[in-house]
Structure 1
C-alpha cells in the first residue's frame, strides 16, 4: 500500500513501444536500473509497460540504441494532477472551499436533545444547558469537557441525580436522571373486598382480612369475598382488606357483522417530490404541482448527509404520493361469523380486564338477514372479581 502511494506521488506513465527491438529495449532498460512494471503485449502487437516520470526521461538513450519509439498512453499521479489543478484554479478553489465548508458545518452544534426528563421541563433543561455553553450553532471546540458539563448541569438543575452529556456528530444529547421521592401511601379507610360480578370462585388469596368464600362457591354481585372485620366480641377490629379473587363470569353478546368489507388498494400510480433539507428547513426542488389523486397516502423518507461518521445538518427528503382506492370485498358467511366473534371477544376483554382469560365461547343463535350475520354468543371468562367497598357503607357489620 505504501509503495502504491509513493508511486502515485512520483507519477506513473504507461508507455506503448513501436518498431525497433522492444525485447532488447526492456532488457537494456532493466540493466540500466530503470523500474518497469506491468510489462505485456497489447492486442494490436505493441509492447506496453509502466514506469515513473523520472525513469521515463532516462529511457531516451535506450530508445535510440534499440531503434524503438515510445508513445505515452496514460498519465497518472500527483505531478499530472497538479498540472490539471493549475489549469483549473477556480475549480480547485471551489473544491477547497467546499471541504472547508463541510468541516466548518460539521464543527457546529446543530441540535440539542433532552432525554429522560419527567418532572423537569425541556425548556428548563435547555436554558440550563445554554448557560453552560450548549446551544445550537455553538462551535464544538468551545464546549467544555463532557464530565465538567455533566457536573455543572447537575448543580444547575435541582432534582437531578445524574446528567450525561454526549456529542454525536452535530447533535448534543443530554440524558437526565431525576431523583425519586418515595410516594407517601394514601391513608386508607377500612374496607371489604366484594364481588364485582355474579361468578363462581376459582381462586382466592388473602393478604389481609378474613376470607368468607371458598373455591368453587357461587357468589352474587356485591357479596363480601374478603372481610375487613377480624376477631370477635371485644376483640373485633377493622382493617383494610387486601387480596385477590378470581372467578368464572359469563357474558352474553348480540353482534352483527356485514357480508361486505371495504379494502384499501394501492393502484400503483404515484408522484414523487424531492426536497433539499438544511437544518430544520426543507426546500422543494422537484415534483411541483398539486396532488393529482383523489385519495392518496404519503410516504416520506429523509436522508442526511454524513462525512467520516459525522451526520451533517443537510441532506435530501423524498416524498412519495401514492394513489389508493377503496374496494368492496364480498365475504362468505364463515368469514363474517369469524369477524363477529372477534368483535365480541374485543368487547369482553374491555369489560373483563386485561388479565381476563376467555375459556369458552358458545353460539346461542345465528341468522343472516339484510346482508349481515347476526349472532348471540355466550362467553365463559376467568377474571378478577374484586372491587372495594368501605366499611362505613356496610350497615349491620
Structure 2
C-alpha cells in the first residue's frame, strides 16, 4: 500500500504491545484494515503501518484484545498540510511562489560556453554581455538567435562561427574556432631501449636499425632499435621508430582476509520528498527519525518542464534503504583465487594496453593472523621500448 495513494490519504507507523497482538492483527484483517511493513518486535509487540482513516477504527479492537498502541511516526499529505496550516507565512509564500514562477521562468538563469579551446571563456562572456546576454536578463529583451550569432562572431577574433541556443532559462553559446595548421613536432635523434629486463618476443622496425632479434634476452637500457644508421665512415643520427614486445617478470605480494564483510539491502526503506526551487529544497514528507541503524540514501530528482522549456523548480525523492552487514568465512582456496585475480588485474593495468599474462607461479603461500599471504610471480608479455635521446659528442 506504501505509494502515492497512501501518501495522499496519510498513514502512520504504530507499535502494538500486549499479550494478544496476533489476535488484534486477525481482527483488523477481518475488518478490512490495511496493514503493511509489519514486523515482530522483541517481547510482545508488533510494528506496522496503517492508513490514517483506519487508525481511528482500531480503538474498539484494542479494547477487545487489551493491547496498547503507540504512534511512532506520521506520514502523508494530511500531516504536511496540518503543519503548513500553522505557518501562515509559508502558505502566503507558497501562493506567491506560483505567481512569481512565470516571471522567473522568463529570466536567464545560466549561461554555458562550449567548444572553445584557444579563446577564453571570459572573453566570450564579455562579448555576450555586450550583446545583452547575461544572468538575470529578461528573455524577451534578447535579440533573435541569428542576430546574436552574427554579432558575437564579429566581436570574437579567431572564431569562425558562434551559435546561441536557448532552452528554458538556460542559454548555451557554441563556439567553432578558426582552424590553424598544426606545427610539426620537432623530434631529436633517439634510440629505442629496453625499459626492463626481458626476452624479446616481437620486433618491428619502422626507422632505424634493429639491434636485437626475437628470443634475445635483454637487460634494462639495452638498445633495441638504434638511431645511428649508415656506414662507420659516414654515420647518421635519425629518430628511431618501431615497436618491441617482450616477456617481463613481475613479482607481487598479496594478502586476502579469510573473514569477508558484505553489505546487503534488507528490503526495508523510507522515503523523503522535497520541493526544489533553485538550489534550495523544502521537505514535504518523511519527517521523523530514521528507524534504521545503517542505511544508504538513493536520490532521484526530476525538473519541471513546460514543453521544451526547463523550469527552475522540481521534485526530489530520497529513498533510505536499510542495509545489513554480513560476515562470512571463505576457504583458503577461495582466498588464493581472489588474491591471484587482484594481482592479475594490477599487473595488466600497470603495464599498458596490449599486456598479456603468459605464465604465473606461486612462490610462497601461508596463513597468518586470519589472512592468506601469497607471493606470486607473473610472466607478462608487454611493450618494452622507451626513448633514449642521442647526445652528439
What is residue 346 of structure 2 aligned with on the other side? 347
What do the CA deviations read for 1:304-363 (whole angstroms, capped 9, x no partner)?
A: 222234322212222233343433222233321221012211331244223312233233
After superposing the two structures, state which structure 1 stretch, 315-324 or 286-295, moved more: 286-295
What do the CA deviations read for 1:204-259 (whole angstroms, capped 9, x no partner)?
A: 12222111112222222211101111112331111221221111222222322111
Contact 1:205 1:245 (8 Å CA) reproduced: yes
What is residue 235 of structure 1 aligned with on the other side? 234
What is residue 130 of structure 1 aligned with on the other side? 129
What is residue 88 of structure 1 aligned with on the other side? none
Provide the TM-score with structure 2 as the length reference. Answer: 0.66
Q: 1:382 to 1:111 in 2, by over 3 A?
A: same
Contact 1:110 1:279 (8 Å CA) reproduced: no
What is residue 12 of structure 1 aligned with on the other side? none
Q: 1:268 to 1:104 in 2, by over 3 A?
A: same
What do the CA deviations read for 1:37-96 (whole angstroms, capped 9, x no partner)?
A: xxxxxxxxxxxxxxxxxxxxxxxxxxxxxxxxxxxxxxxxxxxxxxxxxxxxxxxxxxxx
**Which segments of 5 or more consecutive residues in structure 1 lack a partner in the other structure?**
1-96
1:137 shift after superposition: 3.4
Aligned to 1:216, the other structure's residue is in SS state: coil
What are the equivalent positions in structure 2 for 1:359-370 lying under 5 Å apart? 359-370=358-369
Q: Distance in 2 between matches of 1:252 and 1:291?
A: 49
What are the equivalent positions in structure 2 for 1:35-184 lying under 5 Å apart? 104-184=103-183
Aligned to 1:234, the other structure's residue is in SS state: coil
Contact 1:170 1:313 (8 Å CA) reproduced: yes
Contact 2:105 2:311 (8 Å CA) reproduced: yes
Contact 2:167 2:308 (8 Å CA) reproduced: no
1:201 shift after superposition: 1.6
Q: Distance in 2 between matches of 1:294 and 1:178?
A: 56
Q: 1:120 to 1:278 in 2, by over 3 A?
A: farther
Q: 1:367 to 1:283 in 2, by over 3 A?
A: same
Q: 1:297 to 1:159 in 2, by over 3 A?
A: farther
What are the equivalent positions in structure 2 for 1:213-224 lying under 5 Å apart? 213-224=212-223
Aligned length: 298
What is residue 297 of structure 1 aligned with on the other side? 296
1:302 shift after superposition: 1.5
Q: Distance in 2 between matches of 1:186 and 1:291?
A: 62
